[in-house]
Amino acid sequence: MRIDIGIGHLGRIGLLVIAGAAMPALAAAAPADRVVLADNDTVLAAWQQSAGGGAQPELVKQDDGGTKIEWHGGVTLDRYTDSVSGGTQLTPMRSGSYYKADIHSDLRAISPAGDTAFAQFSLTSTNDRSVLSSHDSQINSLVIGRSGQNYDFRFGDISLDLSRLAGSTGGMRGVQAQRRFGTSTVVSVADGVLTPSWEELDRAVPRTQYLRHAYAMKLEQGIGDATRLFVTHEGYSDDPNTIDSSNALLTAASASLTTAGFSYQKNGLNMTAEAATSRWQEKGQNAHDSRAYAVDATWSGQSYGLYGGYHDTGVYYASLPGQAAPGIRETFVGGNWSAASWLALNLDLRRSQNRVANAMASGSSTLSSTRTDTVSAQQSITFGQRLPGLGLGLRQSVSNIKNSDGSSSRTAEYGANVSYSGQRWTSGIGYDLNRIDNALAPQSAGRTQTWTANLGTNLEFGGDASTPPAWTASMNVTGTLQRYKSGLGTRSNGSSYGLQMHVQRGQWFVLDANYGEAFVSSPLAGGPTVRTRTYSVSAAHPFGAQNAIRFYLNNNGTISGAANQLYSEKQVGAELVYQL
Amino acid sequence: MLNRSVMTLAMLALLSALAPFHAARAAEQPGAAPAGSATQAPVDGTAALVANQAEADKVQQALDEMIRAYEMGNIAMIQNNIDPTMLGYQRFLNGVRQDVLMLRQIRIRLLNTQIVVGPDVAVVQTDWQKRYFAAANLAPGEFSGHSIILMHRGETGWRIAAFSGDNMFASQSGTLGQISTVPGVITPVAGVGPPTATVQITVIDPDLANISSLTVQAVSPQGDRESVALTSTSPGRFTGSLTVVVQSTYTAGDGTLQLQATPATISVRYMDNNPGNNRPPSMLTKTVPVQ
């Protein structure tokens, strides 16, 4: 077996996966605290874009049969100072000097047959409690496994997507395996613990939830080339000894769930139907059995797409991660149709019953049932060669809501926007109306009118048709005006405007700047207007293939308002992105 | 639990052991499972299954766009970024509409964020804090919670397919209520009559942002039960007070919670119809020591 090891080369190991350092990502003002893995083509495209359209490097394919070992790693370091005022209800930040480090590692061994053994890991470390609330470091992801054409096995963070009614194992730390037998049978199993983080699992931080021991299984069987049958079974049990009783608002519970269904796909038709039964029990209480049904179908043609479905989940229906909402009965149909080259239409009709709603009419938290009938439509219109780049969008949505206590309400939304997108300029104006009528519960009613406008431009300097421009710049101005009227008759106004600017000089320098202000007037007579100001500046200098240093300034806060509305967040910092 | 784990591990081991015997048949496999089958991506190739973090940035970006749209009250954009076949789709939108009406200058901050990405499915786990000014009086408020968001990759990019945990986007769509008392430890003081104390009870439940009052129940170890009405002080925040008296007898329903002796522990109970995590309606219980 031949093993090639390379770090940081474009040649025989393939282009290294970039973490958080693709130049377009750097250009954004957002903190580079995310891990970005991309395939070679994506990375090459990003490189070419950031290099101003320069020559694209070529990958050298490995032509022997050796196992490749790839390692991709990197670190993003931030050092910054916050100057903050205002209470905890206004800002999560606190004054002080902080550091933040994001570290990631991705180690893979790829066999000639394509089987891959992998170990992926990422970690954040900081002393800033507005980033990590109760501890100095957090494991963001930890996955170790092996995957081939017929199998997949992994340990750590697992996310097995089981079915619509069974949900997924998202949030589970444990083991997961998938295995294909023959041409049409797939078995998936998972076992582990549901917990918000690795740190809570280890009790490195105080637990906020019970540790939930869980398992899940799925069997899929293909019939023909279009139909698959599947059965899932899962269960969980909260461990009541894993949290202090003074922190436990909820009683520990256990549940089990079995679902069965089929999916069909042929000639543009996709259909899935599933039925489920669950048992949920709080410790020391009676068990609740419940059932659920889900049918979904989509049908795609050349110029149209249709969808429809029926969901019905019992009030006590319980799935493993709780992704299947209980107490819902919903029937819907909808579709989109490109009626002409200049006209696209969307329609959605829906009847939904929520059996775990809170009674609005009585103004209390009494359990109630609410039925909502909704019609939503959208129209998109373009004007072709006569007015290239110009578009008109219209939307309407009307809902009638009836509560089991006899009350009712009505929601109406209407919107229109005109947009223009040219080679140098973009612009748009829009209007939206959101109105809720409720005679019995006026505190839940009101009307919001919104006007929006934006204007943007892209500029290039120092280039011609054969060479990329030396400088590129873009600028965008936005404005919003809102009028509110509550069901109780009070009125207030809101408005905001903003300016965003981006300047880039080849691969040498990137500057981003934003400025915005927002106003909200008080609905109370004589009340103060809350005025918020936000601005930020970020200057980055890329170096090497994927590295950069960035300096930034962020400012956000209220500059007028009552004493209990005033806060200020100022941040000055430097960031280093380095790929090892 | 142990037996179940052993069985599962044994099954995992069996599946792993069988792997080599079926590898040769890999080339015969169809390329993909039916779209919309709501299953894990097919076991059809190494690249698709392992190179799954390629979309992490897009997942984060899609979630950020949803948050910005919610903060701006852009319902149309939110509607376009959730799967119309999502369970609880209408309840979610109804909640967003109520929030747009009742909250101003919403700011959501994510912390402790973790993203696990697969080829067509991603799971985002994050704590969140939502700060806002109440539309009625511009009083500042804060909600917080922990969300697990399931996202699917469709033709138009990553879209939210399901929520679990506490829903950050839509009041009424499920967030676990919080009960607190002031003081945290009750100390009755003897005066003219028997030892007495007043305790302030606060419930924070974002699902009730449009509700004006709610009722909690206070229970003593001896069996006295009192209903306590809490009134809304800002969207989703309710406050009321309870008098606790130490005496030998009790009368249920007289508005005063009587204890026979101290030290003891009283319970404050609140029925949360929508406790988050898509858990069925559940009774929340807060225990408060009495010295």
Task: Report the share of chain B in percent with pLDDT over 90.
Answer: 24
Q: Distance between CA atoms of A54 and A502, rounded to whole angstroms?
A: 21
State both tokens at B287: 């225990």
Which of B125, B127, B215 comes nearest A364 by C-beta? Answer: B215
Which of A222, A249, A317 comes nearest B285 by C-beta? Answer: A249
Tokens 């021991």: give the residue: A213
Which of B113, B139, B162 comes nearest A323 by C-beta? Answer: B162
Question: pLDDT tens digits, residue range B243-269?
Answer: 999 988 888 889 899 998 889 999 999
Residue A215 amino acid letter: Y
| Helix, strand, coil share (%) of chain B residues, nearest 5 | 25, 40, 35
- Say which CATH superfamily domain B178-290 falls into: Immunoglobulins (2.60.40.10)
Enter the ipTM: 0.81
Q: Does A132 touch chain B (CB under 8 A)?
A: yes
Give the closest residue to A250 by CA, choosing from B283, B274, B138. Answer: B283
A407 with A357: CB under 8 angstroms? Answer: no
Burial B219-242 (b: 16+ CB within 10 A, else e): bbeeebebebebebebbbbbbbeb
Helices marked H in A18-169 — which ranges?
Answer: 23-27, 40-50
Q: Distance between CA atoms of B115 and B117, rounded to whole angstroms?
A: 6
Is the pTM above the cut of 0.90? no
Per-residue tens of pLDDT for chain A, all 580 residues: 333 333 333 333 333 333 333 333 333 333 333 344 444 444 444 434 443 333 333 343 444 567 888 888 889 999 999 999 998 889 999 999 999 999 988 898 989 888 889 998 889 999 999 999 888 999 988 999 999 889 999 999 988 888 989 988 877 899 999 999 988 899 999 999 988 888 888 877 778 788 999 999 999 999 998 999 999 999 999 998 888 766 678 888 999 999 999 999 998 999 999 999 999 998 888 899 999 999 999 999 989 999 999 999 998 898 876 667 788 899 999 999 999 989 999 999 999 998 876 654 455 555 667 899 999 999 999 988 888 899 999 999 999 988 877 778 899 999 999 999 998 999 999 999 999 898 777 877 899 999 999 999 999 888 777 788 889 999 999 999 999 998 888 899 999 999 999 999 988 899 999 999 999 999 888 888 999 999 999 999 998 878 999 999 999 999 999 998 999 999 999 999 998 7
pLDDT for B21 equals: 31
Q: How far is B193 from chain A (nearest CA, A)?
A: 31
Mutate to test the interface with A, among B87, B150, B186 (most CBs of A within 10 A): B87
Q: Distance between CA atoms of B70 and B95, rounded to whole angstroms?
A: 11
pLDDT for A23 equals: 33
Q: Distance between CA atoms of B67 and B149, rounded to whole angstroms?
A: 13
A133 with A122: CB under 8 angstroms? Answer: no
pLDDT for A540 equals: 96
B276 with B176: CB under 8 angstroms? Answer: yes
Beta pairing partners, A343: A340, A381
Q: Does A557 touch chain B (CB under 8 A)?
A: no
pLDDT for A33 equals: 37
DSSP for A337-363 reads: EEEETTEEEEEEEEEEEEEEEEPTTTT
| Distances in whole angstroms, Cα of residue A440 to Cα of each of A304, A437, B176 | 42, 9, 27
Give the pairing of strands A116-126 and A96-110: antiparallel
Question: pLDDT tens digits, residue range A81-108?
Answer: 999 999 888 999 999 999 999 998 889 8
Q: Distance between CA atoms of A508 and A516, rounded to whole angstroms?
A: 27
With beta carbons under 8 A apart, name residues in chain A contacting B87.
164, 294, 311, 313, 323-325, 328, 330
Peptide bond into B183 cis (omega under 30): yes
Could you confirm whether domain B4-170 is CATH 3.40.640.10?
no
pLDDT for B165 equals: 82
Q: How far is B49 from chain A (nearest CA, A)?
A: 7
Which of B19, B27, B76 comes nearest A179 by C-beta? Answer: B19
Q: Does A427 touch chain B (CB under 8 A)?
A: no
Beta pairing partners, B15: none
State both tokens at B186: 């009750």
Specify the domain boundaries for CATH 2.60.40.10 within chain B. 178-290
Peptide bond into B206 cis (omega under 30): no
Question: pLDDT tens digits, residue range A337-377?
Answer: 999 989 999 999 999 998 876 654 455 555 667 899 999 99
Specify the domain boundaries for CATH 3.10.450.50 within chain B. 4-170
Q: Distance between CA atoms of A81 and A570, rounded to whole angstroms?
A: 8
A434 with A415: CB under 8 angstroms? Answer: no
